[in-house]
Amino acid sequence: MQYITVLGSTGSIGVSTLDVLARHPDRYRVYALTAHTRVEELAAQCERFQPEVAVVGSSAAADKLGALLKLRGVKTSVEYGEAALCAVASAEGCNTVMAAIVGAAGLAPTLAAARAGKKVLLANKEALVMSGQLFMDAVHASGATLLPIDSEHNAIFQCLPSGYQRSPDTHGVAKILLTASGGPFLSRAVDTLDTVTPEEAVAHPNWVMGRKISVDSATMMNKGLEVIEAHWLFGAPASQIEVVIHPQSVIHSMVAYVDGSVLAQLGNPDMRTPIACALAYPERIASGVSAIDLAQIGKLAFQRPDFERFPCLKLAYDALSAGGTAPAILNAANEVAVQAFLERRIGFRAIDRIIAQVMDRLPHGAANDIDGLLEQDRLAREAAHSYLF
Ligand code: NAD
Ligand code: MG
């Protein structure tokens, strides 16, 4: 039996995770659920999955959740705040943690799970982008198992030899081909991009996701963060990670080998597939996702990304090659800019401009410890805020 903590259970990934778990009550029990503000949804999830603990973002939310659970006769205990998130991510009562909080807010609990040697299912790419080597060191020191949920990385994981660990022996891997849909603005005239609305930006052509990652997909910062994520997960240098635009999102990513073989993983754009794959690994379980109909899809298209249309992708490659604290600075500036765009305080093209300004202004250095990284995250947010007007 796997006992699971779902960090961010009310989000898009969290809900898909619970959908898969509910299909296999013989294998999985929920140990803890967490949400930031959506207390009513969390109460309904607690009633259905009866976790030991539920964690929310504030004492007011905890009071509200406590009252709702009492009304429903649910015995789940209620906690709030970051320390409680870290506690449920590292508790003895759970062996598997779905890390599905969005953004830097997920770093502390995801790291706590890694340090506690859990099976960590990583959706929260920002946590790994920020902390890179420190996160991977924590995984190796504790013997935690790290399995990627991001559909591209899960696809790559499936296309690599089993037990793959990059070392001087690269197992014949020549390149990682990270596919990208190109988002909603792939063919829109570049000079009209500054007038796009948040509604247009979050309307992803293939995937239904949270608002932040949807905007990241429209700027292609999402792919940039994924390049950095792939670097850490698979130990590949930036020069071996290539982004390929594939608008249909049928191929979720590929691995090219030195003998000329390219292995791809295909499927419908539904996150329950990578979630089920990671939950049951190395077994396979039903996820509720139907098989693809290739004849109906007909054609698959590919093209190279254009850095002028998608400057955020270039900024992310630059941050990866700068190394150290640069990816944490990039991530923090992006989070502030995306939030400001969603609040209609800045235009779409201001997102990449603000990130570039913050990257120029803040000197990046070595990432020696988490406290130092969090300080860089704070400074980058402060700098990004100063450019909002
Ligand atoms: P979402 O916005 O739908 O959900 C976010 C969850 O995090 C919610 O449960 C929310 O309560 C919680 N949360 C938000 N702010 C918080 C805070 N400050 N403290 C604690 N909890 C907080 O996001 P999502 O689309 O489910 O994405 C979650 C993560 O998974 C992101 O890192 C995203 O990049 C990654 N991801 C998502 C998808 C997808 O298809 N949605 C695909 C690949 C990767
Ligand atoms: Mg992805």
* Tally of CA atoms within 13 A in the half-sphere of 332 that contains its CB: 25
| Residue of 80, 102, 226, 272 best suited for mutating to test ligand 1, as the one with most atoms within 8 Å of CB | 102
Model confidence pLDDT, tens digit, residues 358-372 = 999 998 899 999 999
- The span from the CA of 148 to the CA of 118, in Å, is 14
The ligand placed nearest to the CA atom of residue 42 is: 1
Ligand 1, atom 25: nearest CA belongs to which residue?
210
Q: What are the domain boundaries of the chain?
A: 2-148, 156-308, 323-389
Provide the whole-model pTM. Answer: 0.98
Model confidence pLDDT, tens digit, residues 317-363 = 999 999 999 999 999 999 999 999 999 999 999 999 999 999 999 98
- Look at residue 371 in the predicted model and tell me its pLDDT: 94
- List, chain by chain if needed, residues with CB within 6 Å of any ligand 1 atom: 8-14, 35-36, 38, 57, 100-102, 105, 123-126, 150, 207, 209-210, 212-213, 271
Nearby residues of 336 by Cβ (< 8 Å), 6 or more positions away? 354, 380, 381, 384, 385, 388
Model confidence pLDDT, tens digit, residues 68-116 = 999 999 999 999 999 999 999 999 999 999 999 999 999 999 999 999 9
Residue whose entry in the numeric block shows the structure tokens 């054609």: 299
What spacing in Å lies between the alpha carbon of 150 and ligand 2's midpoint?
5
Asked if residue 389 has pLDDT above 80, the reply is no
DSSP 8-state class, residue 303:
B
In three-state secondary structure terms, 263 is strand
Largest CA distance in the chain: 63
Ligand 1, atom 32: nearest CA belongs to which residue?
124
What spacing in Å lies between the alpha carbon of 252 and ligand 2's midpoint?
8
By C-alpha distance, which of 347, 365, 377, 373 is closest to 387? 347
Contact 42, 54 (CB under 8 A): yes
Q: Does domain 323-389 have CATH number 3.40.640.10?
A: no
What spacing in Å lies between the alpha carbon of 121 and ligand 2's midpoint?
14
Nearby residues of 88 by Cβ (< 8 Å), 6 or more positions away? 5, 7, 31, 32, 34, 53, 55, 79, 94, 109
Ligand 1, atom 42: nearest CA belongs to which residue?
150
- Look at residue 40 in the predicted model and tell me its pLDDT: 98
By C-alpha distance, which of 341, 326, 340 is closest to 377? 326
Helix (H) or strand (E) holding 96: strand 96-99
CATH superfamily of 2-148: NAD(P)-binding Rossmann-like Domain (3.40.50.720)
Ligand 1, atom 5: nearest CA belongs to which residue?
11
The ligand placed nearest to the CA atom of residue 180 is: 2
What spacing in Å lies between the alpha carbon of 38 and ligand 2's midpoint?
24
Token pair for 84? 């409680």
| Residue of 55, 111, 213 best suited for mutating to test ligand 1, as the one with most atoms within 8 Å of CB | 213
- The span from the CA of 285 to the CA of 267, in Å, is 15
Contact 100, 11 (CB under 8 A): yes
Q: Please identify, by atom number, the ligand 1 atom nearest to the C-alpha of residue 150.
A: 43
Residue whose entry in the numeric block shows the structure tokens 């961010």: 8
Q: Please identify, by atom number, the ligand 1 atom nearest to the C-alpha of residue 13.
A: 26
- Look at residue 137 in the predicted model and tell me its pLDDT: 97
**Residue 211 — left, alpha, or beta (φ > 0 → left; ψ -120 to 50 → alpha)?**
alpha
Token pair for 368? 């020696």
**Averaged pLDDT, 285-296:** 96
For the chain, give the percent of residues with pLDDT over 70.
100
Contact 331, 242 (CB under 8 A): no
| Residue of 7, 9, 10, 12 best suited for mutating to test ligand 1, as the one with most atoms within 8 Å of CB | 12
Model confidence pLDDT, tens digit, residues 137-175 = 999 999 999 999 999 999 999 999 988 888 878 899 999
Ligand 1, atom 16: nearest CA belongs to which residue?
36
